[in-house]
Chains A and B, each alone.
Chain A
């Protein structure tokens, strides 16, 4: 199993550009999430999905969209990039929900710089 994969690993954008960060998992997990990690801060939840066709907002959703058309894929779209979105983005998946104490499996991350 490849686990959770993310592409690209690195990306530089100009302010106002849009792009999609890709995330895929091959573990048949229902739950998938996107986090951002900034220096001096804990991981913060952007959006999450509890199954194909179902998404919801996390703590910091503004400026991002998600969709979940299949169990495997959970892309994150930046609509109009801003310097404040410079961060490391992690996708994660789990077999069950947060309340059940389920292990989160993280992808290797995407390092995004917005100029």
Chain B
């Protein structure tokens, strides 16, 4: 079974700090990579796709390391509104999406 592993946390981080978390995936044939954000008792929403060259969207930076099969998400200048669960999602093509269990982030004032 294809696996996506994440540290469940919680990560307790003071407002304004930088936080990073990783996920690892087992399927070396994986083609697409994503970070989704899920607020408590809400649906997941796409935060950002992850590209081989790395990509940045405001305070968020995602990186992919295909050789080591891991994906990272860096959040700079964290805000209280960043508190959520972050889901690492990997696509193996026709086999569908594999979701990690999520990393719970709590930003403290």
A51 within 8 A of B: no
Could you tell me if B99 and A42 are in contact, using CB atoms closer than 8 angstroms? yes
Stretch at the interface among A14-22, A67-75, A77-85, A102-110: A102-110
The interface residues of chain B lying within 8 Å CB-to-CB of A103 are 34, 46, 49
The interface residues of chain B lying within 8 Å CB-to-CB of A59 are 96
The interface residues of chain B lying within 8 Å CB-to-CB of A2 are none
Within 8 A of A (CB), among B81-101: 87, 91-101
Q: How far is the CA of A35 from the CA of B42 in the complex (A)?
A: 14
Interface of A is mostly: loop
A59 to chain B, nearest CB (A): 8
Chain B positions 37 through 55: 1 when the CB is less than 8 Å from some CB of chain A, otherwise 0: 0000011111001000000
Could you tell me if B4 and A42 are in contact, using CB atoms closer than 8 angstroms? yes
The interface residues of chain B lying within 8 Å CB-to-CB of A48 are 96
The interface residues of chain A lying within 8 Å CB-to-CB of B98 are 42
Report the tally of A-B residue pairs with Cβ distances under 8 A.
59
Within 8 A of A (CB), among B51-106: 87, 91-102
Could you tell me if B32 and A99 are in contact, using CB atoms closer than 8 angstroms? yes
Number of interface residues of B (CB under 8 A): 25
Chain B positions 4 through 45: 1 when the CB is less than 8 Å from some CB of chain A, otherwise 0: 100010000000000000000000000110101000001111
Q: How far is the CA of A94 from the CA of B9 in the complex (A)?
A: 30
Could you tell me if B93 and A99 are in contact, using CB atoms closer than 8 angstroms? yes
A40 within 8 A of B: yes
The interface residues of chain B lying within 8 Å CB-to-CB of A45 are 96-97
Q: How far is the CA of A43 from the CA of B102 in the complex (A)?
A: 10
A12 within 8 A of B: no
Could you tell me if A98 and B93 are in contact, using CB atoms closer than 8 angstroms? yes
Could you tell me if B99 and A100 are in contact, using CB atoms closer than 8 angstroms? no
Query: A42-B4, A42-B102, A43-B99 known; A99 and B91 CB under 8 Å?
Result: yes
What are 13 A-to-B residue pairs whose CB atoms are below 8 Å?
A33-B96, A42-B4, A42-B101, A48-B96, A90-B43, A97-B94, A98-B32, A98-B91, A98-B93, A98-B94, A99-B31, A106-B43, A108-B42
Q: What residues make up the interface of B, taking CB atoms closer than 8 Å to A? A: 4, 8, 31-32, 34, 36, 42-46, 49, 87, 91-102
